[in-house]
Structure formats: C-alpha cells, structure tokens
Structure 1
Amino acid sequence: MKKPGPFYVFALISVGILLLVLPCCQMPDSSAESPDIPRDTAISAENAYSGLFFDSLAMEEYLDKIAVADTAKKLFREFYNQRNFQFAWFDTSGVAEQARSFWNLQENFLAYQGDSSIYNPFLQRWSDSVAVYGLKAIPDSTRPHVEWEMTFQFFRYAAKAYLGNKNLDASALKWYIPRKRIDILSLLDTLVIDKGMDIRRYEPVNRQYTLLREQLKRYYSMKQNGSWDTLITRKSRLKEGDADSVLLKLKHRLSMGGDLERNDSTILFTKEVTAAVKNFQQRYGLKEDGVIGGTTLTELSRPITYRIRQILVNMERLRWVPSEPTSDYLLVNIPEYRLHVYEGGKYAYNMNVVVGTSTNSTVIFTGKLRNVVFSPYWNVPPDILKNEVLPGIKRDPAYLARHNMEWNGGRVRQKPGPKNSLGLVKFLFPNSYNIYLHDTPSKSLFSENKRAFSHGCIRVSEPEKLAAWVLRSDSSWNTNRISLAMHSGKEQYVVVKKDLPVFIGYFTTWVDRDGKLNFREDIYGHDQRMSEKMFGTERSQ
C-alpha cells in the first residue's frame, strides 16, 4: 500500500468534506471526490486466507439491528468485502496487535483531549477483560460482535481525532477555509496491515498538530506539579538589578516554560532572568526589552488552564486542515502578523504584515494568487467613500486633488504613485471578501509589535521582494524591471502563470522552527468564541 507522506506545519488545502452522523460518530461520505490517500485492498487473493473469518450473513444481521446511516453501512461493507470477511482485530493468537495499538491510541486521545463523547462502555469492558485475562479473553461466540464494534469505533475515533468536532460550525466561528476530508478506509487498511505500529507516520494530521499535542502533555504535567496563581507585585516594572519576593515565582514559571535554564532561590533580578524574559517575550510576540511589567506580567500570570485551552482550541483548528502542499504557497497567520513564503512545500522566508483591526477584521479563507499589479489605482471601497471621502469633500472642495484622487464613473479612485494607499504594488487572489496583499506608504507600522491597523486587507513589509519571488519563474521579469514598473506611475497587470495558493489562517499558538512554543493574543476573539463552544460559557481568566 502506498503510504502518505509526512505532514507539516500550518498547511491548508482548499478541499471540502461531506459528513454523515452515527451515534457518537461522523465519517466522510464515500461519494466525496477522489481521496488524498489512494485506497489499496488490504486483503488480496494471495494473502486472504489466514483461517480466521466470520459469516457474512451474520454481519448483515448485525447491520440490520443497529441504527446506522446507510452510507456508514456502505463503508463498513466495503471494508469487509475487500477483506473477504476476514477478521481485522483478531488473529489466531486472540486479540491482534493492531487492536491493542488502536485502543491505546484512543485512550491517549481521550486523556489529553478531555473528550469522552466517543467512549464505548461495551468495548471498555472488553478491554478490561483482556487486561486481566489475556489476549484470548474474548470467547468465540462474542468475537464477531466485538470485531464489528471495533470497526465502528475506529470510524468514530478517526472522525473525531482527525476531522474535529462536527458540532462546531466553522463558518459561524469566522473560519471560511473548507474542512479537509480523509479516506477513512485507506487509513484503516494501513493500520491493520502495519499492525498499528508507528501510526504517527500516516495519521492524517499535519506536523504542527503533532507538535502541539506533545506540548499539551507537557502543560498537563506542569498543571499537576505546581500552582500557577496570579503574580502580584507592588512595582509597576521589574528589571535587572531589582529585588522582589515575586521573583521567586517568576523564576519558577520561567523555568517551567523553558525560558530560564537554571533557577535559583534568590529574589534578585539577574542578567540570566533578563535573558529569560526576552526569550519569553519573543515567544509571545512582545517587545523584547527584558523588563517585566504591563503585558509581559499579564501573560506570565495567565492561569495554566487558560494556556491548555488555548492549545486545545488551536489543535481543533488544525484538525480541520490537511497536510502541507508540496507546491509554492503563501501563508498569513493573522495573530502573528506574519506572512510565510513556502517554495516547493519548503519554508523559504517570512515578512511582517499589517492586518485588519478588530472592527475591520481580516477574513480567514483561502484563494489563488492570479495577478501582480504594479503602480495600482486604489478604488475606494464604498464604506470608506461614505464615511471618510465624501465627508472630506464636503468640508474641503480640494480634498480629491490633495489626496491624488479622481472620480471614475460613480466611484472615487486614488491615482498610482508613492502616496497611494496600496503603495506601489498589489497582489490579487480573487475572493468575495475584497481582500488582497499590497504595499503601503505607512512603513513605520511594520516596526510595531501589534500590527492590526488596516481596513481588512493585508499590507506586506517587503513588497518588491515578494513580487520578485512570485514572478521568479518568468524570465521577462527581473528585479530591475520590477522596480521600474513599481515606480512607473502607470498601472500594469501581470498574470501569475502557475497556481499559487494563498492561505489566511488564524493560529494563536504553534511550535516554531526552533522548537519553541509560541502564543499570541486572540486579537479578534475567535479563540474565546471557540473556547465557549468547546468548554462552556465560563471564561478562563
């Protein structure tokens, strides 16, 4: 069987899924478009006869008695038809190795996710019996029923662990990137063939999900091994050379977070603490001044439960997205205020961006970059025309001339030039949200730690570099011609010849390329809304 390749960070592919509902179960519709993982037959004519089979008529009687959607029964039948009705979870030794591996995998999921919605009392009793009496604890008479329950349980687990919570409406949570789909039968085939060994190789989750899962376990351990109360000091700021009793807790917290290598029992703010604070600030996207106060103190004081839920919320989002494209693509992570450039699926570089304000939030979606536009006009959006430009014209008849604007039919546009609000170049990926990437004359904003200043579009800090990268395979566009086009004062559209996916995502925690766990502010409140859906309305302070 062909194995799926590795899964990498923040990968997003625009594909849809169709779900069906079982009791405590959701699965992809088998009528969905061609799967990501080509399905192979687990049992062929050469390897089918191991001597452990069940009666297909008994299976049909079982299916007739259970309340399961027809599409689910179709998947179930397909799995066993292609196995020639051979047992998947049992062999001549009793309970097969893949059954134990899967059960351990599910137990770990229930433990770290804190989600018991797929808990199966019948199979739990079976598991307990095996633990006490060994692999042959299941009598022949009940073995088929356990077998079939295990297969449906795998469907339930795979849907929940790899597709996410079906009760969370992504669009209601302002997430407009289509959820991924999985080939659940191909995944099950692989698990059975490989006896559940090294399942991490082919789990349909991206690498970032796996990294956060390990960090989540660490945070659970931190929660069990010490308190995480609010840090209180009478000083507004603590810096190197200061002494304060709160530094005992601060050092402990910095040490647990991995920022302070060696903790000590003094109340002194040492140079080692300064370095640790700067590392903490870098991981949290704060000003790296090594001083504890204001936002730094607030973030250090967050309860451990708050961070655990933040990780769980972002892991849920990551279940919605498949593996990383192997093509070129662009990824904007809104809370990070950063654009990441990937070449052939490999990280190339990143740059700072400015995103929409909380009032004019940048939309989470995906598109394909179609055009680079040099020396662009700016067609003033209707809301800005109504709220800013028309009142300006009323106050000052010379308003349009002073802002290098002109009427264009019934609309107003700003002429190309260095003071144009879009700068000297824009990057279009057609979408219904009227969002695109562009240059800006307001360069100073890129030096701010928090960069939510726009009306929703995304301003890039290095537009000329990005244009050169996007057009690098077009020999007619070198850096000199790009610079001339940007400063020509004449609008020019250039078609991007190859598909270039653009993903606008929203992740407030991730593990970076140095292995450091990062957190960012929930600038649009998306985390809070998801947290309330996942954990209830009680806010975690």
Structure 2
Amino acid sequence: MRVGAVTVCGLAVLMAVDGCKRHRKTRSKPNTDAYSQKIDPLVKSNKLAFLKIPDIGSYQPLVQTFYDDRNEEIAWTRDGKPTDSAVAFTKAFQDAAKKGLNPEDYDASRWAARVQALGKNSDDAIAEYDVAMTISVMRYISDLRIGRVNPQHFNFDINAQEKKYDLPEFVSDNAVDGDDVPKLIATVEPDNDQYRATENALAKYLELAKQQETGGAQALPDVPKAVSVGGSYAAADALAARLKLEGDLEDGGAAGGATFTKELSDGVKNYQMRHGITPDGKLSTQTIASMNVPLAQRALQLSSSLERWRWLPGDYIKPRLMVNLPEFVLRGYDPDHKLDFTMKVVVGKVVGEHETPVFTHMMKYLIFRPYWNVPMSIVKKELAAHIEGNIGYLAAKNFEVTNNKGEVQTGYTAKQVIQGGVMVREKPGPKNSLGLVKFMFPNEYDIYLHSTPATELFNRTRRDFSHGCVRVQKPDELAAWVLQGQGDWDLDKVQDAMNNGKDNNQVNLKTPLPIVIFYLTGIVGEDGKVDFFDDIYKYDEKMQEILKKGPPYPEYKEPVKPKNGDTV
C-alpha cells in the first residue's frame, strides 16, 4: 500500500509538472527551449540595443506572443547554426532595396557578425540572433504585405490593415521552417502584374543609377530657347549618351557633333512621351531639367509606387477602374484584369487645396444629366461677389436656389446664399459644370468621375484644373462600359440619356465596380517602357520624408472632416 501510495503521488507530481507546460501553438518543427531564460527578458523589452533600430515599437507584443506560442523555443538556429530559412531571409534582407525597401530596416549589415558570434557557442549570441531574426522577418513580411506607413496617416481613405497577417502565427507556421522563402515572399506581395513589372523596373533603375554615379555624369546645360532639328547644342554628345542610358536612343545612334539631329530629336521625343512632357521632339528647358533628375531619384519614384501598391486591400489589388493622378489617365480592366481602355482625365488643381485625394471605393451608380450642388467654399470664393452686386446673377448663369428639402426658392437674398441659409445648384444640361453624366462611388471627400463641357482641357499635357473631382475625356464610352451586361445600355442608349433623357436620372449598378484613385509617379506602361511623372501633389515627397526617419513608422493620423456639397 505504501509503495502504491508513493507511485500515485509520483504520478500526480509528474502530471502537475507536465500540466504547467503550455500547449505549443505552432506547426513548425520543435526546437530547444534551452535559451528561454535569455530570450524572456529580450521579448519583454521595447528597446533592444543590439538592433540597428533599437525601438521595436508595436512589434514587441507580437514577438512576445511568437515565443509564448513556441514555449520559448528558439526558431532560427539548430545546433548553433542558422537554419536554411534564416539564411534565405538574410539574403532577402540584403536585397530589400530591389523591392523598394531599406535593407537596414532589417539589420542587413549586421547578420554576418551575428553568424560569426554563433560560432562561439554563446547563449547570449544565440538568443540575440533569434530575437533579431524574428523581429526582422516580422517587419519585412509586414512591410511587403501592407506597406510601411499606414496610408491613413496621409488622410488617404485606404484600409491596408484589413489584409494584415497575424504575424506571430504566420511567421511561426510558414516562415520558420519554410523550404522556399522566395516563393513565400511572393505570396505575401500584391498579386498584380503591374506591381511585379514595377519591381522589375526598380531593379533595372538601381543598376542604371549605379552606372550613372560611376560614370560621373554631368548635368546637361540648359538652353535659352527650345532647340529644333538642325539647331545647335554644344552638349549633343552628352545628350546622346543620356538618351542611350534609358534606351530612348539606340546604342548605335550618333550625335553628329554639336548639331541637334533628327535622330536626337526622335530620342528626345521618346523621352518626352515617357515623362508626361509634350512630345514635340524639341530640346526645351523642361526636357533638360527632367533629364537632369538623377536616376537614383527615378528609382525612388518606383519605390514609392511599390509602397502604394502594398496599401491596396484585397478587393482593389486588381480593380476594374484606376485613375493615376500624376499621369492624368484612367484605365479600365476586364474581370480578368486585362486592360480594356485608357482615357485622359482632368484632376484637382495643385494650388488652392483642391488636390484629388488617394482612396479606394466601389462605384455604385451613375446619374445622367445631374445637378451640381455647389459647395459653400465655392459659393463664398467664386460666386459671392457676383451675387452681392446682382441678385439675378445666379439665374442668368444657369443656377437655382433651393431650401434644405431641395425645393426651388425664388425669394432669397444674397445674405441667405452667402451664409448658407439656402443652397445653390446648377441646373442639368450641356452647360452644367458636371457635364451630362457623373459616376458615383460615395465617399467622405465628395469626389467622383464626371463629364465636362470644358473638353479643350484634354488637349493639354498637364491636366490639373478641377476643384478635386475627376473629369473624364469620353464619358459616353465610359458609361456604356460601366453598364455593359446591364440590360440594353449600349452607346446609343447612353448618348440618348445624356442628351435627351430626364434630368437627374440615377441608374444603379447591379454589380458595384472597385475603383482606385491612385498616385503613381513611376509606372511600367502598356508598351513595357518605364514612365515617370511629376510629383504634382508632393505626395511622394511627404512619404519619403517619413521613410527617411526609419522605423517605427506612423500608423495613423486623424482624418480631416468631410466637405459639404459637390466638388467639380
């Protein structure tokens, strides 16, 4: 009986000890927990001096959860040597610039020394290596998945957070023992051909930037006036070399002394077409200034584009409609994300706080022959002076005044209009500022696509003229495209609704279309060439100012309040 009692008690003690050990919450292979006492204080700290960026910010609780789920087993070494997965991630960190990321955000320059320290069989070295690798892998995967800076920090209405991973679980289950790290990384990134093409273009421009820096390229001299074919340009040889660098002039092309030849003019025209400059083939001040932008800066533009691609939520990674603001172009894609069309657009003015914001939404309906509800800001800035001097001004200019129920008012005063006691709207018709159709995706900015009577603006190369909305070049064709498969809405019916139909006629879409109002100053065009555009709203500049400071990056900023009325 005494032996039995001892045996039972012994079993109880063993069960109690075993019961204290937590369930291991990971699919990765078991590893040793011999370094748990060294790891525990590291994962509880917000600052780790052995990292390039000691402040690990919001990653601290994620790292602690990672090791809690593993019962504090190490993850990235076995028998004192880095695992194959750790080696592969180290290579990825060192190549991070090719993805538009900063290698030092992931301690790229420190891994060789850390691996060397592992050879000394130091418990501290093993623990620090493991925690450093966990943090770097988490940060790298997160940066590729949702970008580094939360787009809402810039007041952009894009919810990148909805596709974020549960990093402790994802890294432990998929990355720790991953047998194909490059393939894993590819699944993390946006599944979009344009994204991949931009990534390839970035690798090319990083090499071109090295060539330019190694060659000690000098700035091309400016000209007092544009040079045409047959004119003289003393730096013709340097111009030819610059055009050849990006492939705008064939390698065999000769400058011909100081003469601006037809061959050089064709090369300049190729360059202008890729940079949003009027493609007249003349060597102008604008063209020279653009050519003098270092290719390292062009690589940075492509990096900014990759960052924004990573912001897009799942439904918008392959949108049906995309407006690229600095390019002044709208693209439409079929359900398989093959390009259907491109169309010129007019976007918000650079001056006067009329910039068109970056955001994603679903297009839900069209309105043929719409009213334009004039925002109070425009009433005060652009109509008030006219109304005060002539109360009949509004009626003469195709406007009418309504109360808050939409009922037309005739007995109103200038004071009521200017103080917002009544609303001003422009009546439907061909002279309406919104044209004859608008495409609605309700949003806090009151931004939408619409037609315009000012069609001459589409002949301009640079097209930032609106109060914020996006004016489209071919609204009838766009409406027919949007309504395809929805009854008998062909081009003829659309044009009839625009020209002869009833006013303010709303047509709902059976299937809403994802639309992205985007901002890419560096893209790969449909012809495979790399195109660059001016940073008209300084959105790139603002983002790069933040990225230069390094992690931890801003996650959120309180958005501005919605505006009242409709922009145009």
TM-score range normalised by the length of the shorter chain: 0.7 to 0.9
Give distance in 2, aligned partners of 1:426 and 1:172.
29
Which one-letter code corresponds to 1:491 in the other structure? N
Query: What is aligned with 1:105?
Result: 92
Please say which structure displays the higher CA radius of gyration: 2
Query: What is aligned with 1:363?
Result: 357
Query: What is aligned with 2:186?
Result: 201
Q: Secondary structure at the match of 1:518?
A: strand
Tell me: CA distance 1:523–1:153, structure 2 relative to 1, closer, same or farther (3 Å).
closer
Tell me: CA distance 1:113–1:432, structure 2 relative to 1, closer, same or farther (3 Å).
closer
Deviates more, 1:436-445 or 1:469-478: 469-478
Give distance in 1, aligned partners of 2:61 and 2:171.
16
Asked if the contact 2:366/2:437 (under 8 Å) is kept, the reply is: yes
Query: What is aligned with 1:266?
Result: 256
Query: What is aligned with 2:462?
Result: 450
Deviates more, 1:192-201 or 1:416-425: 192-201
Deviates more, 1:307-316 or 1:416-425: 307-316
TM-score (norm 2): 0.75
Tell me: CA distance 1:324–1:342, structure 2 relative to 1, closer, same or farther (3 Å).
farther
Asked if the contact 2:244/2:250 (under 8 Å) is kept, the reply is: yes
Query: What is aligned with 2:276?
Result: 285
Does the alignment pair 1:340 with 2:331?
A: yes
Give distance in 1, aligned partners of 2:543 and 2:63.
33
Asked if the contact 2:159/2:313 (under 8 Å) is kept, the reply is: no
Deviates more, 1:420-429 or 1:474-483: 474-483
Give distance in 2, aligned partners of 1:113 and 1:145.
24
Cα deviation digits, residues 319-344 of structure 1 (max 9, x gap):
43356747652211110111111222
Tell me: CA distance 1:82–1:253, structure 2 relative to 1, closer, same or farther (3 Å).
same
Deviates more, 1:90-99 or 1:378-387: 90-99
Superposed, which structure 2 residues align to 1:285-364 within 5 Å?
Answer: 285-321=276-312, 325=316, 329-344=320-335, 345-358=337-350, 359=352, 360-364=354-358
Query: What is aligned with 1:531?
Result: 544
Deviates more, 1:110-119 or 1:476-485: 110-119
Which one-letter code corresponds to 2:527 in the other structure? D
Superposed, which structure 2 residues align to 1:68-467 within 5 Å?
Answer: 68=45, 75-76=62-63, 88-90=75-77, 94-109=81-96, 113-114=101-102, 116-119=104-107, 123-128=111-116, 137=119, 139=121, 143=126, 146-166=129-149, 170-171=151-152, 173-180=154-161, 181-183=163-165, 184=167, 185-186=169-170, 189-191=173-175, 192-199=177-184, 201-205=186-190, 206-207=195-196, 210-262=199-251, 263-264=253-254, 266-267=256-257, 268-321=259-312, 325=316, 329-344=320-335, 345-358=337-350, 359=352, 360-409=354-403, 410-467=422-479
Tell me: CA distance 1:114–1:224, structure 2 relative to 1, closer, same or farther (3 Å).
farther
Tell me: CA distance 1:145–1:236, structure 2 relative to 1, closer, same or farther (3 Å).
closer
Q: How far off its partner does 1:432 sit? A: 1.6
Give distance in 1, aligned partners of 2:506 and 2:203.
46
Tell me: CA distance 1:451–1:154, structure 2 relative to 1, closer, same or farther (3 Å).
same
Asked if the contact 1:97/1:195 (under 8 Å) is kept, the reply is: no
Query: What is aligned with 2:562?
Result: none
Give distance in 2, aligned partners of 1:434 and 1:41.
47
Query: What is aligned with 2:553?
Result: none
Which one-letter code corresponds to 1:63 in the other structure? D
Q: Secondary structure at the match of 2:104?
A: coil
Which one-letter code corresponds to 1:108 in the other structure? D
Asked if the contact 1:211/1:511 (under 8 Å) is kept, the reply is: no
Q: How far off its partner does 1:100 sit? A: 1.4
Give distance in 1, aligned partners of 2:217 and 2:453.
45
Q: How far off its partner does 1:199 sit? A: 4.6
Aligned residue pairs: how many? 481
Deviates more, 1:477-486 or 1:272-281: 477-486
Deviates more, 1:516-525 or 1:297-306: 297-306
Superposed, which structure 2 residues align to 1:40-51 within 5 Å?
Answer: 42-43=27-28, 48=29
Does the alignment pair 1:512 with 2:495?
A: no
Give distance in 2, aligned partners of 1:449 and 1:334.
13
Q: How far off its partner does 1:445 sit? A: 0.6
Asked if the contact 2:347/2:468 (under 8 Å) is kept, the reply is: yes
Give distance in 1, aligned partners of 2:135 and 2:37.
14
Q: Secondary structure at the match of 1:150?
A: helix
Deviates more, 1:235-244 or 1:81-90: 81-90
Which one-letter code corresponds to 2:216 in the other structure? S
Q: Secondary structure at the match of 1:369?
A: strand
Query: What is aligned with 1:63?
Result: 40
Q: Which runs of 5+ in 2 are unaligned?
A: 1-24, 47-56, 404-421, 550-568
Which one-letter code corresponds to 2:478 in the other structure? L
- Aligned-residue CA RMSD (Å): 3.3
Give distance in 2, aligned partners of 1:489 and 1:399.
26
Give distance in 2, aligned partners of 1:162 and 1:209.
16
Asked if the contact 1:219/1:308 (under 8 Å) is kept, the reply is: no
Which one-letter code corresponds to 2:32 in the other structure? F
Asked if the contact 1:328/1:343 (under 8 Å) is kept, the reply is: no
Cα deviation digits, residues 389-439 of structure 1 (max 9, x gap):
333234445433332222222112221111111111011111121111101
Which one-letter code corresponds to 1:186 in the other structure? F
